[in-house]
Amino acid sequence: MFYALSWFAVIALLTLWSLAAWALHAVAVWAVSNAGALTGAASGAGTITVPDWLAPWVPPDVASWASQLMAGLAPFIDGLLQAAPAVAGGLTVATWVIWGIGSVLLVLLGAGLHLLIALWRRRGGSGSGPRAGTSLAAG
């Protein structure tokens, strides 16, 4: 009975692991595939200013430095967004590899639980009374 319960738990965890990997892969591929549509969106980053309510507490030098930094990063971010759809194929391979490693670890967990239950039963932890070949008489 304990063997069945432990393997049922492992199969349930493996099912949840597979569903999570599938869902995260679907969301990641969708996000990466649609990232190319955002090209040019980072070009407006240089025009971002400090909100009026925060301006009294931010020194003007820090505000201008942050604005220049954002303007300098805009071409880099646009380049990343243009290259992102090409990454979708590699994302699928990475998902399969991570899923495989997690699945192997879960099966090893199941084997370990099976072994622990077998050792526990062998030592008499099952509560089934005395084992065969032992005497009830105190001697």
pLDDT tens per residue, range 58-115 = 888 888 888 788 777 777 777 777 777 777 778 889 999 999 999 999 999 999 999 9
Given a cut of 60, whether residue 139 has pLDDT beyond it is no
Given a cut of 60, whether residue 136 has pLDDT beyond it is no
Report the Cα–Cα distance between both ends of the chain, in Å, rounded: 35
pLDDT at 125 (0 to 100): 62
Q: Does the model's pTM come out above 0.85?
A: no
In percent, the amount of the chain with pLDDT more than 70 equals 79
Nearest to 7 by CA among 99, 102, 100, 113: 113
Mean pLDDT of the 121-138 span: 61
